[in-house]
Structure 1
Amino acid sequence: MDKTVTLSVIKADIGGFVGHSGVHPELLEKAKGILSGSPLLIDFHVTHVGDDINLILTHELGRNNGEIHQLAWDTFVACTEVAKKLKLYGAGQDLLGDAFSGNIKGLGPGVAEIEVVERKSEPVIVLMADKTEPGAWNLPLYRIFADPFNTIGLVIDPNMHGGFNFEVRDLIAHKKIIFSAPEDIYDMLVFIGAPGRYAIKRVFHKANGQIAASSSTQRLNLMAGRYVGKDDPVCIIRCQSGFPAVGEVLEAFARPHLVSGWMRGSHSGPLMPVSVTNSCPTRFDGPPRVVALGFQLAQGKLIGPQDMFDDPAFDRARALCNEIADYMRSLGPFEPHRLPLDEMEYTTMPLVMSKLKDRFIDLRLSKTKS
């Protein structure tokens, strides 16, 4: 019987070069050096999107394994020391705890993991975003696994025609619910259309229960109680043979959608599909970026990557992102470019409200004419 392989994608922003735009090569080399000596891993790949380091790991220890999470934590801590030496911006900002406590979740880094028994061919896409939040995956995952206008396999592939189940997390109340597509689509859209609170965590094949996708749903601001940068989520998607084709996964990013994040984590902007080379956001620290790396899993080995958005077919999507960015920037500090007030609670807004609280007059109590 084939062994079960775990694919873990763990990311953290532990120091930007320059500002919030990129990762210094010394940090990437440090991470590679630490991981290359680990007996826990079958294989690994170290990359980045914007100022986030992304560790793509394969092993046989399962999801939420303490040793794997400890390895990732130690790697980020070591990279933080390099970042401090180079005086990189925000060194260690995603490491919220002083020490590892058995599981990296809740300590800042984002985590997405899947366990699979490899099929005859096991293609996967690893999505990595910068300058946005976990709910940024809601619309693409809906398109990929529930929208036949994006994924024709839902109509013509007998192995997909039954649909998929979506695990949706309430990031505020810390609850989850399972929606079945297509039956529950309208109910599900009520929730996932509010990506600041509800995020798709996992997707499962309805017929056989196999994992189809997994995303990170960590919210840094909720963990830290203050603004420490956007969450910059990651996502793993299995492709082909009963799952969406590679092209169907990527097609979901051909029509850019607005996401929360961008400058100071406080603005809406288009999610731009780019290559790793072009993943360093500079204009107003943006616009937000998404990178897609493709791998074939073979006995746990990561065959790849293929830089999937390094393709002129996405040039029009990028051009449209720039047009949308021009329009959104023209609004400056006004909504809907700036996020609504309930999303601004970790910025200067509470300080301003506190300073001005005595200057607000309650019109219901005031006897003066207004």
Structure 2
Amino acid sequence: MAKVTLSVIKADIGGFVGHSAVHPEVKEKARACLEKHPLLIDYYVAHVGDDLVLIMTHEHGRNKGEIHKLAWDTFVACTEVAKKLKLYGAGQDLLADAFSGNVKGLGPGVAEMEVEERESEPVVVLMADKTEPGAWNLPLYKIFADPFNTIGLIIDPKMHCGFAFEVRDLIEDKKIIFNAPEDLYDMLVFIGAPGRYAIKRVFHRGTGEIAAVSSTQRLNLMAGRYVGKDDPVCIVRCQNGYPSVGEVLEPFAFPHLVSGWMRGSHSGPLMPVSMDDARPTRFDGPPRVVALGFQLADGKLIGPNDFFSDPAFDNARRLALEIADYLRRLGPFEPHRLHLDEMEYTTMPQVMEKLRDRFIDLRLAKKARAAAGGEA
């Protein structure tokens, strides 16, 4: 069989109600657009919060215009349904009036990998709502570089060689490759700043094959204004030379802090939930992550297994809610509210401009007093 491409493309095309969920009619429309489409081998329509997620398999490779146009046309058709239902923010992730060959840069988030199916090809599709691409940095580090999380790095001969991380500078549009374990300290300098640096892809150093890929699109950088958080997706291959399913899921037992939450302007815990519970309501949150497991079988998507429906993640959810209680008491104060650099695309610049003439430059005032013979 030819290589199979797994494409996960997501967009917020209208929330039901507010920013909390995807309306069933929107998902139904997406399924109608993808059903028996000649370009696809298989598909699954998912959601996390108010984001519609298209999971598709095909034989056309990554970054193919035909597949991206199919996703774009599906989002446009679903937007029409959203407008009919007067859903909130209908079409907000579609930043262009027309498709231009590739959805990258037009709003939707994209994660794609092309693989030659192994005898058994398990994959986990991670989907997050109310957060940014850098939210995957800590989990991907733990999955592919931390032996306290992934014991296979030590005891599995097929993993002992380690993995290579492609890290993107989302501000200056650059990339760099770090090799684990020898480059770990250097890599952590960058991926510890997830607002700017994000892990895009992970490669097996023994075979050179893809191990994981994430979406790294930043909506505010594309639109030049705040239009919603990026709500990233990620694909991870599992087993037989790659981390086990359990090792892939284990980092999410700790609800680490991510940027996003209400109006994309707050820090909050990333709470692992089932797809049914991916309805962020409290302060439009807390941020959610869903993990769907599939077996690829000649390109067919066997599944999903909704992993975070497991009660083994109940403690993580309880801890996330305790963290949410603590942070909410800080209200508009940092570190609950994001630092000023991350507030660039909210109302902050407008408020600063309005008050610009009311700020007094104390250095200039001091010089003026000194020149007038007064006290410096």
TM, length-normalised to structure 2 = 0.97
User: How far apart, CA to CA, are the structure 1 residues paired with 2:105 and 2:254?
Assistant: 33
User: How far apart, CA to CA, are the structure 1 residues paired with 2:128 and 2:196?
Assistant: 18
Q: Which residue of 2 aligns with 1:316?
A: 315
User: How far apart, CA to CA, are the structure 2 residues paired with 1:299 and 1:104?
Assistant: 26
User: How far apart, CA to CA, are the structure 1 residues paired with 2:36 and 2:210?
Assistant: 30
Structure 1 outlier segments of 4+, above 6 Å: none
Does structure 1 residue 303 correspond to structure 2 residue 275? Answer: no
1:256 CA displacement: 1.1
Q: Which residue of 1 aligns with 2:80?
A: 81
Q: Which residue of 2 aligns with 1:257?
A: 256
Q: Provide the secondary structure at the position in 1 that maps to 2:124.
A: strand
Q: Which residue of 2 aligns with 1:328?
A: 327
Aligned residues: 369
1:3 CA displacement: 1.4
Q: Provide the secondary structure at the position in 1 that maps to 2:315.
A: helix
Q: Provide the secondary structure at the position in 1 that maps to 2:153.
A: helix
Q: Which residue of 2 aligns with 1:230?
A: 229
Counterpart code for 1:77: V
Q: Provide the secondary structure at the position in 2 that maps to 1:142.
A: helix
1:246 CA displacement: 0.1
Does structure 1 residue 147 correspond to structure 2 residue 132? Answer: no
Deviations 1:214-259 (A, max 9, x none): 0000000000000000000000000000000000000010111000
1:45 CA displacement: 0.1
1:348 CA displacement: 0.5
Q: Which residue of 2 aligns with 1:104?
A: 103
Deviations 1:101-141 (A, max 9, x none): 00010000000000000000000000000000000000000
Q: Which residue of 1 aligns with 2:191?
A: 192
Q: Provide the secondary structure at the position in 1 that maps to 2:355.
A: helix
User: How far apart, CA to CA, are the structure 1 residues paired with 2:95 and 2:123?
Assistant: 30
1:37 CA displacement: 3.7
Does structure 1 residue 168 correspond to structure 2 residue 170? Answer: no
User: How far apart, CA to CA, are the structure 2 residues paired with 1:175 and 1:266?
Assistant: 25
Q: Which residue of 2 aligns with 1:124?
A: 123
User: How far apart, CA to CA, are the structure 2 residues paired with 1:365 and 1:60?
Assistant: 66
User: How far apart, CA to CA, are the structure 1 residues paired with 2:305 and 2:361?
Assistant: 60
User: How far apart, CA to CA, are the structure 2 residues paired with 1:365 and 1:234?
Assistant: 50
Q: Which residue of 2 aligns with 1:354?
A: 353
Q: Provide the secondary structure at the position in 2 that maps to 1:253.
A: helix
Q: Provide the secondary structure at the position in 2 that maps to 1:366.
A: helix
Structure 1 vs Structure 2 CA RMSD: 0.8
User: How far apart, CA to CA, are the structure 2 residues paired with 1:37 and 1:67?
Assistant: 15
Counterpart code for 1:228: V
In the alignment, structure 1 segments of 5+ residues that lack a partner are none
User: How far apart, CA to CA, are the structure 1 residues paired with 2:254 and 2:36?
Assistant: 42
- Greater displacement, 356-365 / 302-311: 356-365
Counterpart code for 2:87: L
TM, length-normalised to structure 1 = 0.99
Q: Which residue of 1 aligns with 2:214?
A: 215
Q: Provide the secondary structure at the position in 2 that maps to 1:120.
A: coil
Q: Provide the secondary structure at the position in 2 that maps to 1:21.
A: coil
1:38 CA displacement: 1.1
Deviations 1:313-349 (A, max 9, x none): 0000000000000001010000000000010011110
Q: Which residue of 1 aligns with 2:372?
A: none
Q: Provide the secondary structure at the position in 1 that maps to 2:363.
A: coil
User: How far apart, CA to CA, are the structure 1 residues paired with 2:190 and 2:322?
Assistant: 29
User: How far apart, CA to CA, are the structure 2 residues paired with 1:242 and 1:32?
Assistant: 34
Q: Provide the secondary structure at the position in 2 that maps to 1:309.
A: helix
Counterpart code for 1:365: L
Identity within the alignment, %: 81
Q: Provide the secondary structure at the position in 2 that maps to 1:304.
A: strand
Counterpart code for 1:307: D
User: How far apart, CA to CA, are the structure 1 residues paired with 2:159 and 2:41?
Assistant: 31
Q: Which residue of 2 aligns with 1:63?
A: 62
Counterpart code for 2:58: H
- Greater displacement, 356-365 / 158-167: 356-365
Q: Which residue of 2 aligns with 1:16?
A: 15
Counterpart code for 1:317: A
User: How far apart, CA to CA, are the structure 2 residues paired with 1:260 and 1:129?
Assistant: 12
Does structure 1 residue 202 correspond to structure 2 residue 196? Answer: no
User: How far apart, CA to CA, are the structure 2 residues paired with 1:254 and 1:186?
Assistant: 24
Q: Which residue of 2 aligns with 1:5?
A: 4
Does structure 1 residue 52 correspond to structure 2 residue 42? Answer: no
Q: Which residue of 2 aligns with 1:158?
A: 157
User: How far apart, CA to CA, are the structure 1 residues paired with 2:218 and 2:347?
Assistant: 19
Counterpart code for 1:351: Q
In the alignment, structure 2 segments of 5+ residues that lack a partner are 370-374
The structure with more radius of gyration: 2
1:363 CA displacement: 1.0
Deviations 1:258-278 (A, max 9, x none): 000000000000000000010
Deviations 1:280-334 (A, max 9, x none): 1000000000000000000000000000000010000000000000001010000
User: How far apart, CA to CA, are the structure 1 residues paired with 2:278 and 2:339?
Assistant: 27
Q: Provide the secondary structure at the position in 1 that maps to 2:282.
A: coil
User: How far apart, CA to CA, are the structure 2 residues paired with 1:179 and 1:322?
Assistant: 35
Q: Which residue of 1 aligns with 2:270?
A: 271
